Chains A and B, each alone.
Chain A
Amino acid sequence: MSTAAPAVGPRPEVAEPAPWAFPEPERFVLSNGLSVQAFDMPGQHVLSLQLGVPAPLAGEPREVEGVGLIMARCLDLGTTRHTADEMAELLARKGIALHAGVGERAVLVEVDTISRNLPDALDLLVECLTEADFPEAEVRREVRRRLADIGQDRADPASLAALEFIRTYFDPADRASRPGGGSRETVARITAEDVRAYHAATLHPDGAVLAVAGDLSGIALHELLEAALARWPSRPGHRPAEAARGTRAPDAGRIVLVDRPGAVQTELHVGGPGPSRTDPAGWGPYQVLSFAVGGSPQARIDSVLREERGYTYGIRAGFRHRAHGGLFLASGSVRGEVTVEAVEALLDILDLRGSDLTDAELAHAAGYQARTAPGRFATCEAVAGEAVSLALDGLEVDFVSRTVAQIRTLEPEVARAAWDRHRGEPWTVVLVGDAQHAAGIRALGRGRVDVVTQPREPSSSPMRAEDAEAPR
């Protein structure tokens, strides 16, 4: 036994944090129509450049969905001047990281470079944007890689649950019901010609936004960007497609169990409708509710499922905004043998009424969300990423500061009403685990339960094995 515990002073009081606001960018528009937001962040030696080009996934041709992702991934795989291998070497020798992908609303290109290599990075970025020529071999390789990724997604319980969730939750006619990167069927069809056509139809500076964050001292950014990006011509009259509405399927309120025989855990995704960031109540109440319900080990869900019962390493839950509306989503994995108990406990917790939320837990959650903002936006990547995300939703960066201000003075009643407005039942529940739990799940009386099996044949999609009972 050690000696008596050392002496301890009283628990320290905490001083109220200094006021904080999201950094204010310098804004300008280049002659090709590209909007720029420049954030000078002294001491940040690696610059983050993030480009968002409006190109909603809903605008992809239905039969080649996933073409946007293949196009993005092929941007640096061959241009009229350089082969893919030469381009990789040009980037590598300068230590420039260039990644492109797609989101719900846009093609996103991110470049990280130490500041002295900014001119080279811009030249290479513009070459990729304007001179990519999508060689057949590279497109074929990226198609093959995406097909391999699809296989890996299906083998990963969390990815599989996410895929099954969107398939169940969204209306089949809505683009949001299908994987952003396309399915096996559509991806396998994509040709270099499709990719070139999609590039020509979407990748224009009009309506696009570029955020640059980092230590900009001594950099004549405006001139540098103007010179480099002049080669990316405006296409006046270009109108990006409309983003998907995110319409919920008429039969979304049900439980789907994807059979994974012998799985030692069951992956859960439980979701319902939520607001967009332009909700009339503001975004603040939803940030607070997200934390109170599913943002920490002491939140409503994990205080029971993790800390009291030890069913899970952690279930996270919160509101997720989309271009139109949004979702409330809870997800995580639980020990296989307590699947039924865990689903019951989780749904019981989510039956929460606004009036059940205490002033103390709302104040606690508000404290967290308001006071973590400075730390959340301390790096270039976070600042530039948020600026682009907001701009694509038609919002300015003061949205962050306004939301923090709203949270600081949030009336508990506003949060309670916001919860009641978006309570998700009937929930869409997706479980990925052993189908032996189906009977127990049905016995919970939480509505229709469908069990689906995953055929091994990789080119087919999941099929329904049995349609169980109608909703009660």
Chain B
Amino acid sequence: MPLDYPIATRTLGNGLRVVVSPDHTVPTVTLNLWVGVGSRHEGPGRTGLAHLFEHLMFQGSANVAEGEHFSLLMEQGGTLNATTWFDRTNYFETVPTGALDLALWLEADRQGRLLEAVTQANLDNQRDVVKEEKRQRYDNQPYGTAIADLGSLVFPEGHPYHHPTIGSMEDLDAATLDDVHDFYRRHYAPGNTVLTLVGDVTPEDGFAAVARHFDGLTAEAPAPQQPRGQLPPLTAAPRVDLAEDVPNDRLYLGFRLPVAHTPEFLACAVALDALGSLMTSRLYRRLVRSEELATSVSGASLGLIDGASLGFLGIDVAEGADPAQVEAAVCAELERFAQEGPTPVELESSLADTERSWLEALAGHQERADLISHYTLLHDDPEHINTYLDGVRAVTAEQVRRAAARWLVPDARATVAFTVAPDVSTEVVA
């Protein structure tokens, strides 16, 4: 039975898609914008530009001084941020109901009138900030490059997902003010944006408030960058072995998966639950509980739209165990799962876990708004939050088995294997 979160939609004359989902239990409103631009739109030599650009959206716009976007909203009790990912850029704020108009006014100013405030000085400053973000989150962390390493193995050279969203230091250094201006003109337009309101507002008031501030925006929507055709599974099990200064050996196994919002993708997600995500997963039972070759196992599926999604398994190898033996055991379990498919209990457990985590995600206004924007922008499906669990319930064991047999077999894996470097000098942190 579908859930019943209320969903009202309207499209403004300039193409902005607006969704309002009222919930009056808390006197706040969450605004969540998804703009249809992410790192998949970046050209060669300009990786990291979408994310660097997102930082500049907080540095002022035509009628908003540098820093004011944060300070005006925070003073009113707003919490706000933004994120950039492969397929999109996301801006969000939660404000007391009385500050909704202010938040919309600020968003409209930067979504429609940014460029006159973008200067070389704030580009240079935010470039430095982003480089520190990259160092903090990736370069100065053990295993920090894992997802980027997986992406470059799983997706071919030139594919939009081959490079990580954070980009490279060289490309960040190379970004010019002209690049930033071109990027904004090319991608930031009402017709390339979804704005969702969740919280203490009626659809009627919400639509009117959005129209008041966004109707004046006139930029033409870009021609959409057509997704590539579905990538087939990998066939030759590519790998990279990295001997680094890490605390223990760790394996990441990546897989191409079907694009998001398809029954095949859902079936793969269930398979990864049964294989690696749940505490009852096959790999956890075998590697951690029974053979004690690993200390932890995880699994996840990341839905994407451009030719493939990404699935992965992560395994921390126990001290003294042989990573090759661990990988061989994983491959044996992949083979077995592809033959047997999930047991009824595995199917039941995956569904139960998905149901709880989906409802938990929807419990907060911010995450609810984010999911609505997500499925509206990328899949034109604003009601998805209400119907997703029915889709999961409809997945059969045979669908899961077939999906696993195609997408999650040993030859379709890409391996990033971190091992503890034997020759690291003795002063280094262990």
Contact = CB atoms under 8 A, between A and B. Distances in A.
B295 A368 contact: no
B246 interface: yes
Interface in A120-171: 141, 144-145, 147-148, 151-152, 154-157, 160
A311 B132 contact: yes
B292 A46 contact: no
Contact of B102 (A14, A45, A379, A456): A14
A58 interface: no
B129 A310 contact: yes
Interface string A65-107: 0000000000000000000110011011111110000000000
Interface string A198-241: 00000000000000000000000000000000000000000000
B136 A265 contact: yes
B428 A370 contact: no
B353 A92 contact: yes
B129 A368 contact: no
A165 B256 CA distance: 43
A298 B70 contact: yes
Interface stretch (A2-10, A347-355, A394-402, A419-427): A2-10
Contacts of B213: 9
Interface of B: 23, 25-28, 58, 62-63, 67, 70-71, 74-79, 94, 96-99, 101-102, 104-105, 108-109, 112-113, 116, 124-133, 135-137, 139-142, 185, 212-213, 216-219, 245-248, 278-280, 285, 288-289, 292, 295-296, 316, 318-319, 345, 348-349, 351-356, 359-360, 362-365, 424-430
B278 A92 contact: yes
Contacts of A298: 67, 70-71, 74
A368 B94 CA distance: 12
Contacts of A42: 25
Given A88-B279, A456-B426, A97 B185 contact: no
30 contacts: A8-B62, A14-B96, A18-B97, A94-B352, A95-B349, A95-B355, A97-B356, A148-B247, A151-B248, A152-B247, A154-B429, A155-B429, A160-B429, A259-B427, A260-B429, A263-B140, A296-B74, A297-B58, A297-B67, A297-B70, A303-B67, A310-B125, A310-B132, A333-B135, A333-B140, A364-B71, A367-B75, A367-B76, A371-B96, A379-B363
Contacts of A15: 97-99
A187 interface: no
B140 A265 contact: yes
Given A92-B352, A297-B70, A454-B429, A6 B113 contact: yes
B352 A312 contact: no
Contact of B112 (A6, A46, A112): A6
A370 B132 contact: no
Contacts of B319: 144, 147-148
A95 B356 contact: yes
A152 B77 contact: no
Contacts of B71: 296, 298, 364
Given A5-B116, A8-B109, A155-B142, A113 B62 contact: no
Given A261-B428, A379-B363, A374 B28 contact: yes
Contact of A5 (B62, B140, B351, B427): B62
Contact of B364 (A92, A378, A454, A457): A378
B124 A456 contact: no
B280 A89 contact: yes
A155 B247 contact: yes
- Interface hub of A92, A113, A141, A372 (most chain B Cβ within 10 A): A92
A91 B349 CA distance: 9
A16 B136 contact: no
Contacts of B136: 265, 313, 333
Contacts of A196: none
A50 to B, nearest CB: 14
Contact of B289 (A3, A85, A91, A264): A85
A20 interface: yes
B429 A335 contact: no
Contact of A379 (B74, B349, B364, B428): B364
Contacts of A265: 132, 135-136, 139-140
